[in-house]
Copies of this chain bind each other. A is one copy, B any other.
Amino acid sequence: MTNDPNTITAAILVIGDEILSGRTKDKNIGTIADYLTAVGIDLREVRIVPDEPGAIVGAVNALRAAYTYLFTTGGIGPTHDDITADCIAQAFGVGIDVDPRARAMLLERHRPEDLNPARLRMARIPDGADLIANPISKAPGFRIGNVIVMAGVPAIMQAMLDAVGPTLPTGRRVLSETVEAGNVPEGTYAADLSEIAGRYADVSIGSYPSMTQAGFANRIVARGRDAGAVARARAEIEALVGRLRG
C-alpha cells in the first residue's frame, strides 16, 4: 500500500520485564492489533521494553513523535516496579501527582482507610492527562497528548481499550481478502504473485506460509482500502492458485 498522508497510524509499547523474561506471554499486542485493524488505524510498530526509566522514556518519545497514536500496556499498578506513569510524565516534561478524579475512582473499590500510599500511587496521573475508566479494578488508565496508557492485565487492558477506542478518530478501514493456497509451494507462485503485486500499488499482497501436521498450509492475503482494487487483485490471485492446483 502506498502511504496516504491521511492514514492514521499507531504504535504499541509493551512495558514489562516479565514479558522479556518469557515468564508472561503477551496477549495484548494481538488484541490491540485486531482492534486497530478493525477500525482502520494502521499499526506500524511495536516495542517491548523492560521496567527501566531510560528505556521507557526513550521509547515513548520516539514512538509518540513517529505515529498518530501510541498505546502503552503495563506498569500502572501499585508496586515499586510500576513506573509507567512517572516515565510518561518525564517523557512529556510535565508534573505528576495524585489526581483527585483518580483518587475518587479508587475509593469506589477501597475504603478510605485502605487507600494506603501504595494504592495512591495508582492515582498518580501526569498533569494534563484525561482518565480512562477501569470498570474491573477501578485504577484508571489515562491519555496525554497522543499517548494512551493502559494496564497490562489483559482483561483490564481490553476494558480500557473498549472505553478509549470509540473516542479516537479512526481511518478508512483496510479490507482484507484471503486466498488459501494450501500446499501449493510458495516457490511455484512467487514470480507471478510478484508481478500481480507490482500492478496493484494500492494493494498490499503478502504470502504467509504456515505448517500443519499435513505439511505447508500457505495463504495469500490482499489488503487495501480500495474495495474494487482488492477484489480485482484477489480474483487474479485465485486464478493463479487455481492454475497451479490444476
Interface on A for B, CB 8 Å cutoff?
14, 17-26, 29-30, 33-37, 42-51, 55, 77-81, 110, 114, 116-119, 121-122, 136-137, 153-156, 174, 176, 186-191, 193-194, 197-198, 204-211, 216, 221, 223
Contacts and interface: CB of A to CB of B under 8 A. Distances in A.
A20 B9 CA distance: 11
Nearest to A46: B48
Nearest to A18: B208
A221 B118 contact: no
Contact of A81 (B36, B80, B207): B207
Contacts of A22: 30, 33-37, 43
A92 to B, nearest CB: 22
Given A79-B193, A119-B187, 11 more contacts: A17-B206, A17-B223, A20-B33, A22-B35, A22-B43, A23-B221, A77-B209, A79-B207, A116-B188, A118-B194, A119-B190
Given A119-B187, A187-B110, A44 B26 contact: no
Contacts of A194: 79-80, 118
A85 to B, nearest CB: 14
A45 B51 contact: no
A204 B47 contact: no
11 contacts: A19-B33, A20-B46, A21-B43, A23-B221, A26-B30, A45-B48, A80-B190, A80-B198, A110-B187, A153-B210, A153-B211
B80 A23 contact: no
Contacts of A117: 191
Given A110-B187, A176-B21, A221-B23, A207 B44 contact: no
Nearest to A192: B118
B44 A20 contact: yes
